[in-house]
Structure 1
Amino acid sequence: MPRALVLRHVAFEDLGLFEGPLRQRGYAIETVDAGVDAHPRRLRSADLLVICGGPISAYDADRYPYLSEEIIAIRDRLAARAPTLGLCLGAQLMACAMGARVYPGKRKELGWAPLQLTEAGCASPLAAVGDLPVLHWHGDTFDIPKGATWLAASADTPHQAFSVGHHALALQFHLEMDPTRVEQWLIGHALELAEAGINLPALRTATALHGPQLAPIARSVLTTWLDTMTARRPG
């Protein structure tokens, strides 16, 4: 049974909608927490590594030293073409591991808005998303790493997703967020939302409107990526 290792940075930003497709594909799921039990050896050895989001920055290693170990382990995985999926902070850490710049965006992007898929994005698993709004929840952004394929943009963030071959996928937005659990996000990020002046009732309404429509598509995106990755793996 293949093992999917889930690297969490905060407890409520987890696999969400992606857990079901992984279990359906026969993955045993193990979760580790950054700074607690996410030992680099475990990050390197997993059959699939899923790097979840969080409120810290990829360039905060001086304040959170374990980030340096994560980045090195991710770099080793990508060099070995080991299956890797990054979500928000996870995508930023992947970009950093590949030598790309990660930095504050022009403004925080918090809420639901559509993507603009690149030509490559339209030929990728993200094609299923089309012009549906997805959940954005970030202040940082990244440059597309050398050797990666740019997949998507948004009105406020030019670089929303990239892939590396068929073995790695980095998503700046939160396709995995389970809309039935949005209150965990609103509580966990209460300070950030208040500082950004986000209208919570409006965000709840948008989540109730767009979340259920996107949920089956989000699962489909992951399933398609897993199937494509499996089909392209040697042997």
Structure 2
Amino acid sequence: MKRALIIRHVPHEGVAAYREPIEAAGFEVDRVDVADPRFAALDLREPDLLIMMGGSMGVYEQYQHPWIACQLRRLKTRLEADRPTLGVCFGAQMIAAALGAEVYAGPFKEVGFHPVTLSDTAIDSPLRHLTDVPILHWHGDTFTLPNGVELLASSHVYDHQAFRRGPNLLALQFHAEMGEDERFNAWIEEWPQAIVEAGGTEADLRRAHDRHGPGAVAAGRKMIAEWIEGLVA
């Protein structure tokens, strides 16, 4: 059976709704936390599919989190081998950094449900399932676009919301995996100030989650299922 490895950077940011299409595609899903002692010894080139999820840290905070530099080195070797890799939020920023881009703190927090605008090249990509669908955004960092990739999506807050390189690499700044997962409550409890800094309120965000969450998850699952179908071993 094909093996998918999820790298979890914080306990409350898992693969959520993306698990269903990953398992439906025949992958046995395993997970490792960066705090796990065995993480430092893993060869990230080995899994048939690598999924890196979000986190509250910044790629540039390597002094506080030494594992970031270690993970970037091993991620770079995987990307050089063009092994199937998906990055979400912090995971997408890690991909950007491994490809030589700059990751930095942006001027605004982007927290809430709203659609992304697809680029011309994304219209025929798996991201087309997200057309006009409000999806969850929750970040304050952004990145320059790496060389050799295609920009797939932007938002009214940040230009770089998704990119790909060929069929095997997909980086998503947003959270189309979230909308029905109870860990959303942990996000609110963990980062209430981010909601305020983005100009929202907890009550409004919860209402948006109830209204848009199921649609976001349905679209996100279709997107990931189609992307996995197009992977090249």
User: What TM-score does the superposition give when structure 2 sets the normalisation length?
Assistant: 0.94
Query: Mean alpha-carbon deviation: is it higher for 164-173 or for 197-206?
Result: 197-206
Answer yes or no: is the 8 Å Cα contact 2:112–2:136 preserved in 1.
Answer: yes
Query: Mean alpha-carbon deviation: is it higher for 144-153 or for 40-49?
Result: 40-49
Whichever residue aligns with residue 149 of structure 2, its letter is: A
Q: Name the structure 2 match of 1:214.
A: 216
Q: Name the structure 1 match of 2:13.
A: 13
What's the secondary structure of 1:38's corresponding residue?
Answer: helix
Equivalenced residue count is 231
Q: Name the structure 2 match of 1:190.
A: 192
Q: Name the structure 2 match of 1:172.
A: 173
Query: Mean alpha-carbon deviation: is it higher for 187-196 or for 40-49?
Result: 187-196
Q: Name the structure 1 match of 2:96.
A: 95
Q: Name the structure 2 match of 1:34.
A: 34
Distance in structure 1 (CA, Å) of the matches to 2:67 and 2:35: 6
Answer yes or no: is the 8 Å Cα contact 1:40–1:73 preserved in 2.
Answer: no
Q: Does 1:78 align with 2:79?
A: yes
Q: Does 1:123 align with 2:124?
A: yes
Q: Which runs of 5+ in 2 are unaligned?
A: none
What's the secondary structure of 2:44's corresponding residue?
Answer: helix
Answer yes or no: is the 8 Å Cα contact 1:99–1:145 preserved in 2.
Answer: yes
Q: Name the structure 2 match of 1:133.
A: 134
Residue by residue over 1:201-223, the C-alpha shift from the partner in whole angstroms, topping out at 9 and shown as x without a partner, is 10000011111112111111000
- How far 1:197 moved relative to its partner? 5.7
- How far 1:186 moved relative to its partner? 1.3
Residue by residue over 1:97-141, the C-alpha shift from the partner in whole angstroms, topping out at 9 and shown as x without a partner, is 000011111201011111110011112100111011111100000
Q: Which runs of 5+ in 1 are unaligned?
A: none
Query: Mean alpha-carbon deviation: is it higher for 192-201 or for 120-129?
Result: 192-201
Residue by residue over 1:41-87, the C-alpha shift from the partner in whole angstroms, topping out at 9 and shown as x without a partner, is 34221111100001000111111110001111111111000010000
What's the secondary structure of 2:177's corresponding residue?
Answer: coil
Distance 1:40 1:146, change over 3 A: farther
Distance in structure 2 (CA, Å) of the matches to 1:15 and 1:69: 22
Distance in structure 2 (CA, Å) of the matches to 1:109 and 1:99: 24
Distance in structure 2 (CA, Å) of the matches to 1:192 and 1:8: 21
Residue by residue over 1:123-161, the C-alpha shift from the partner in whole angstroms, topping out at 9 and shown as x without a partner, is 210011101111110000011100111100000100000
User: What TM-score does the superposition give when structure 1 sets the normalisation length?
Assistant: 0.93
Moved over 6 A (4+): none
Distance in structure 2 (CA, Å) of the matches to 1:40 and 1:166: 28
Q: Name the structure 2 match of 1:142.
A: 143
RMSD: 1.5
Distance in structure 1 (CA, Å) of the matches to 2:195 and 2:120: 34
Answer yes or no: is the 8 Å Cα contact 2:50–2:84 preserved in 1.
Answer: yes
Whichever residue aligns with residue 206 of structure 1, its letter is: A
What's the secondary structure of 2:45's corresponding residue?
Answer: helix
Distance in structure 2 (CA, Å) of the matches to 1:136 and 1:222: 17
Distance in structure 1 (CA, Å) of the matches to 2:7 and 2:39: 7
- How far 1:178 moved relative to its partner? 3.8
Identity %: 38
Q: Name the structure 2 match of 1:154.
A: 155
